[in-house]
Structure 1
Amino acid sequence: MSDDEVQDEHPARVGRKRDHTRDAPILDATLAVLAEAGYEGMTIDLVAARAGAARATVYRRWASKADLVLAAATRLSETDVGLDRLPDTGSYRDDVIALFVQDTADDQQVRLQAMIGLLMVARIDKRLADAATRAGIGPWIEANRILMRRAVDRGEFPPADIDTLAEVIPMMCISRAVQQEPITREFSLALLDGVIIPALRAGR
């Protein structure tokens, strides 16, 4: 039986409180193992060993490897974006630049493998395809939408198709992940200056 099929064999007792302090170390371990072994090579046992947790502890929280990768990628993207603390410099371009994550080579590898893991989740379980997309790029799309709306509202740009434009950079990052190419600051700036800002200036 595979990790995706195994369910928790030791359910928590009724009334027992879940220790949420274990969640973050397990999700961090998930990303580390995913970066090293890829989605196919990642197992719940490897994640549990890296986190210093029991196998049952992981399964009490996430019923399958796919669920665990979704949770880890969601935490990564939400932590990076921080929708409740978006930059507000008065300039759309400066806001987006401030939003870019400054990655080391190791960080970039973790994010790339997390994206690839999400794509694998979507491929093996169509029910999770939408959830995988939301986990990896949902917060980034929403952040772009908010920053664009602010810029239009203050008159920096004319009314534009914000819902479509907000998806461009995140979706192009997915495309890079498919090709296993690094998602660099330079790549994002090229899209911002060459595609997004000209489209916003042109309006509808």
Structure 2
Amino acid sequence: MAQTDLLEGKARLGRKRDHTRDAEILDAALDVLAEEGYDGMTIDMVAARAKAGKATVYRRWASKTDLVLDAVACLKPNDIDYASPPDTGTLRGDLVAMVKTPTIRESERKLKIMGGIVSMIARDSELADAAQAALVEPRAGANRIIFQRAVDRGEIPADSDIDTLCMIGPAMMTYRSLMLQLPASRDLAIATIDRVILPAAGIRPTTN
């Protein structure tokens, strides 16, 4: 082999991997996952959606599972700071302040992604952990802060089952989206707060 060929070969081996398209590929993977589910998803579909070569995807992720794990873990947050949810002074005000149209759309997308990986969650504990951290925990954590505030204000009883109260809204939205295939809306979310969540917390709301 000529010296020039050896040098070129070493240059190729030492070339830094280009990660500039990673975000586009991961976002494309989430779109395909939401539409096709894990079992129906293929690397070809992701590459086509991202307008990238199949080899480009495989150079970054050795398998579909690796790609999905990274995509789920890198889900973009919406415009709500879940670590510091709105503090309006009342439980209803805080819950309603969390209901924004862009947030609802993003939540629906996340539910579809969750539906797309359900078949794998039971078989892959790492994927289950990633889904819990990216799809469930941020909103659940915000809800716990909101309900704990209500306890601290004396608005709801100190022995309120906060974990169960936190799950009511997400559980209803999940059932409506995944099982009934119906869209969510701000009006529906607020009706759920007034007619289900607040009464479950022991509050008879005064709607505005």
Give the match for residue 86 of structure 2.
Answer: 87
CA separation in 2, counterparts of 1:44 and 1:88?
A: 43
Structure 1's 104 and 138: CA in aligned 2 closer, same or farther, altered over 3 A? Answer: closer
Contact 1:77–1:139 under 8 Å retained in 2 = no
What residue identity is the alignment partner of 2:143? N
The structural deviation recorded for 1:119 is: 1.7
CA separation in 2, counterparts of 1:152 and 1:26?
A: 44
Give the match for residue 185 of structure 1.
Answer: 186
The structural deviation recorded for 1:74 is: 4.6
Q: How many residues align?
A: 190
Question: Gapped runs of 5+ residues in structure 1?
Answer: 1-12
Secondary structure at the counterpart of residue 79 of structure 1: coil
Give the match for residue 145 of structure 1.
Answer: 144
Contact 1:88–1:95 under 8 Å retained in 2 = yes
Question: Gapped runs of 5+ residues in structure 2?
Answer: 1-12, 204-208
Structure of higher CA gyration radius: 2
173-182 or 62-71: bigger deviation: 62-71
**Map 1:1-204 → 2, pairs under 5 A:** 16=16, 19=19, 21-59=20-58, 61-76=60-75, 78-79=77-78, 81-103=80-102, 110-125=109-124, 128-159=127-158, 160-179=160-179, 180-201=181-202
Structure 1's 193 and 36: CA in aligned 2 closer, same or farther, altered over 3 A? Answer: same
Contact 1:34–1:42 under 8 Å retained in 2 = yes
Return the TM-score normalized by structure 1: 0.70
What residue identity is the alignment partner of 1:92? L
Structure 1's 112 and 162: CA in aligned 2 closer, same or farther, altered over 3 A? Answer: closer
Secondary structure at the counterpart of residue 182 of structure 1: coil
Contact 1:77–1:136 under 8 Å retained in 2 = no
Q: What RMSD, in angstroms, separates the aligned Cα atoms of the two structures?
A: 3.5
CA separation in 2, counterparts of 1:47 and 1:145?
A: 36
Secondary structure at the counterpart of residue 83 of structure 1: coil
